[in-house]
Every structure is written in structure tokens, then in C-alpha cells.
Amino acid sequence: MTAMKKVAIFLPPALSALLLWAAFPPLGETANVAFALVPLLVVARLCSPKRSALLWFVGGFLFWFGTLSWMPAIIKNNGPWPLVVLGWAGLAAACAGYFALYGWMAARVWRRWGRWGILAEPVLWAGCEWMRATLFTGFAWNFLGTAVGQVPSLATPARLGGVYLVSALVVLLNGVFATLACRVIAGMAGSARGTGNGGKWRRQLIRSAETAVPLAAILLVFWLSQLGNSQLSTSSSRLLRVALVQRNAPCIFSAGRQRENPFEAYGKLLEVAAVARPDLVVWGESGMAEFGRVDGERARLAAAHFSEMLGGAALLAGGDWVEDGRYHNAAALYSGTNAVQLYAKQHLVPFGEYIPFDKWIPALQKLSPIGVSLWPGEAKVFRLKDFALAPIICYEDTDPTLSRAAARLGAQAIVLITNDSWFSLSNEAVQHASQAVLRAIETGLPVIRVGNSGVTGVIDGTGRARWLSDGDGNTLVDAPGTMVETVQVPASPVLTPYSRVGDWPLLALFAIVLPFVFVITRKEIP
């Protein structure tokens, strides 16, 4: 192989990586997802499984290394730069491994199913995304369907099968374009063979079905999902007035952190909300950190002070909670006569909130960047008057299972609090906010989101978001601000199909297709 050919073989993964990276924030070119995977899908159809896996890994690594470019921002918050860079490259390589697995499986299935491998490709992709989100605590960031959520009307199939169904439809559409690309390549190579008029007619019919069947399947799923949207728009709702406070306090690990009086800081931000007399005030994750533990007396007194300032509004904020000697990253709802409801984060971040196996080897806990090993909690629903609010914290909005569990517990709205100031002055906050849009569509529930440094706003049950913005209409990030919104909360929410069934249909299809990859052997179809 000449040097030119060796370079050219890496053009498809590089092109796919670039197009896919641009589909997500900060660029947000959503249309790219319709064809970003075409170069790599052509590779899977024309190359050996081994070479396909290699090129998919290269494309996956380039994409993930680019999309996770916000990770070095943690260095300015006392993150050791060698470990940060190593973690950045390691996480990108781990996620690229799922790309490689998909490339290998897609090439294998294509050789066994021939042209109808196009129907297996989306199932395999969705299965790989599910594994990435689940195995070894998972990393559920930037699914293909998450990029589609930037245009909520295109992501409505998530109501039927979650973000994985949206991702599968994207791959199916890419597969149609890949089929057309392969025909062009075959024509250019002079591989078309004439077999008489009868054979030609049958061949044209099959070729038409190759593209018509996938497109018809996509349209059918969209039609079914729109039925659910119409039911949602006609359901009765109650109004919840919320004040969302984005304080933009420095990360607790920031060097040279400026001390400020939290009463003064929150007081100034809440002045604008006092006139609106909200039912609920929401602060970000760690919002109560300066008042001690969330269940402590100082925190209760602080909550009572701000509640009185706002005419009796309840306050939801995050902080530390210790129960039976176990430390939790928690959310607390303060309401009524000094009453407090507590929730402990369920999905902890490895190497951030705990070190794997540190419960069995306590010495490992010294390596935790927060100085203590946290314990996970359980799903809960806070009760505020006639409202049932499900709290989730930070990274938990990337995990579809947690929002679905909240819906099954009877939640009428989801309240997410986060603190992305670790990655201030990067695009991490905007990327993170896009994950929550799919949680709203999947459950049909509004998501109330507050970030300490952004992004703060409200997402309705159809995925339409209203973000806290600056004077020019730009989403406010890395700056303080307050937003008062009236949220339409469904009075008697009906579980969406995805909330009812979850990922079992996907896993069943994945289990059916896998034997054709690993077990069934037959003469390969050219």
C-alpha cells in the first residue's frame, strides 16, 4: 500500500468525527447527524471486520477527544494536569472502544445479511450506546439522540423508546445514505452487471426496497410518537411558580477563592424574585455548602431566612448530608415549619465522588478529590403542597433510568441541580444542559434545571427549553443571574411508553441480532 493510500484510508473516520463533533454544542449543527456516520458505515460494508473496527476506533477517538475538550478546564481548579490529560485521553479511548465494537459487529452482520444488514445496524448502535451508559457505572454522555434533542420536535420518538430509539433512527437514516453511497462507489468501480430485463427489473425492485423500507419505518415511528405529543398537550396542568438562582460561586477547589457573604450574595439575587412571590426557590448543587450540612441547624435557619424574604417560598438546594456515618451528595427541600426532605445522589461519578473499591480498601479514599468517599442513595419524590417533585443531581440527568424511575414514583416534575463551575469557561455547561432535554421528552415531565454557573432554565414536557439569558438573548453561563418562571406541571401525569417499559424492547432486539454476529456461521455474502 502506497503512502497516499495509507493516508486516504483514514479520511472516512476523520470526516465522520468532524461532522459528528459539529453536531453537538458548542456548534450544534443538528442536521449533521443525518449523514455524519455515512463514511464509517461505508467502511463497515466494504472492509473486513478487523479493519472496520480499527477505522471506527480512530473515528470514535477523534470525536470523543474533541467533544470532551472541556476536561482540561478542571486544571485551573487544582486538577493535576498530567492526571487530567491522562483521564481525558483514557475516557476518549474507552468510548471509542464502543465505536470499534460497533464497527466490527456491523461489518460481520453486513456480510451475513447482505443488503438487509441496514436493519441490524441501528439495533447494534443502540445496544452499544446502552452498554456505554451502563457497564462499569457507565458514561451516558452525548448519545446521537441527544444532538437531535436540539430540535425537540425531531426527538419525539424518545417518548416511545428513549434516547436509544432516537439514536437508532439516526443510524437508520445514515444507513440509507450509506446504501446510496455504496451504489455510487460500485458504479464508479464498474461492478454493475446486466442480467437481462427480468433480472434487471427484480434488481431495481429490491434496490428500491432497500431505501424505501427504512424510510417507511422512520416515518411510522414519528407518526406514532406524535400521537403521544397530542395527548400531552391536552392533559390538565397546575401552575408552579419557581425562582431559579444561578449564583456562579467559585468551585470549592479553586485556588485563591474569593470569600463572599452568602447571605448578601443570595439576597441580591433574590431581590428580583421577591416581587413575584414564587412557590419554590431552587439553588444549585452545593448551594448550601457555606451553611453547613443540609440537615443542620444553620442550613435550616438560612432556609427560613430566605423563605421569609420571599413570602414563605420553599427552598430546594444541594449540599452535604451525613447519615449513619455515610457521606452523601444531597438535595434538600426546606418548607413549612422548619421541615426538610432529603435526597442522596444515586449515580455517583467514579474518581470524582468515590474511588472504585474504596469501601473495601479504605486507604483508596485518600485519592478522592473531595477528600471523602460518598455513598449512593435511592430514588425519592419531594412533596410540596400538591406537587410531587423528583430531585436529581448533576450527572444524573444523563442517565435515562433515573428520570424514568422518578416518573414511575409519581413525579410531576423533575428538579435538577448541578455545579459545573469545575469546568468554568468551557463548553461543558452547554453540553451538559442538552442532556436534560431528552429526559423531559422521555418522561413527558417538565425539568426545572439550575446550574451554579449555568445553564439554568425550564424544559417543558415536549423538550422546549427556556434558558436564563443575558441582555442580548444569549444563554447565561459563568455569570450570576435569577430567573422566575411559571411551570405547567401535569396534574395527573400519564406514564409514557418509555417510562412504562424502559429499555427491554431494545435489549430484546439486541439479543436477537447478536447471534448473527458471534454464533451463526454461513458463507459470507459479498
Q: How many helices (H) does the chain have, and how many strands (E)?
A: 15, 12
Mean pLDDT computed over 94-101: 97
CA distance 79 to 194: 65
Q: What is the pLDDT of residue 56?
A: 98
CA distance 273 to 243: 6
Query: Which of 206-210, 227-231, 364-368, 379-383 is predicted with the least confidence, judged by mean pLDDT?
Result: 227-231
421 secondary structure, DSSP code: G
Residue carrying the nine cell digits 427552598: 315
CA distance 345 to 348: 7
Q: What phi and psi, each to the nearest 5 degrees, are found at residue 515?
A: -55, -30
CA distance 437 to 508: 26
Mean pLDDT computed over 59-77: 93
Q: What is the pLDDT of residue 196?
A: 44
pLDDT in tens, 380-421: 999 999 899 999 999 999 999 999 999 999 999 999 999 999
Which domains are present in the chain? 11-189+196-233+503-518 (no CATH), 236-490 (3.60.110.10)
**pLDDT confidence tier of residue 526, bands split at 50, 70 and 90:** very low
Residue carrying the nine cell digits 447482505: 114
pLDDT of 502 higher than 80: yes
Mean pLDDT computed over 145-158: 96
CA distance 398 to 375: 19
Give the whole-number percent of the chain exceeding pLDDT 90.
71
pLDDT of 193 higher than 50: no
Q: What is the pLDDT of residue 47?
A: 93
**pLDDT confidence tier of residue 524, bands split at 50, 70 and 90:** very low
Name which residue leads in pLDDT, 346 or 354: 346
CB-based contact 78:255 (threshold 8 Å):
yes
pLDDT in tens, 14-49: 999 999 999 999 999 999 999 999 999 999 999 999
Residue carrying the nine cell digits 411558580: 241
| pTM (two decimals) | 0.93
The DSSP element (H or E) to which 315 belongs, if any, is: strand 314-323
pLDDT in tens, 426-448: 999 999 999 999 999 999 999 99
Q: What is the pLDDT of residue 3?
A: 64
Q: What is the pLDDT of residue 208?
A: 78
CB-based contact 120:113 (threshold 8 Å):
yes
pLDDT of 340 higher than 70: yes
Average pLDDT over all residues of the chain: 89
Residue carrying the nine cell digits 455510487: 184
Per DSSP (E only), the strands in 13-81 are none
pLDDT of 251 higher than 80: no
Name which residue leads in pLDDT, 82 or 56: 56
Q: What is the pLDDT of residue 473?
A: 84
**Residue length of the chain:** 526
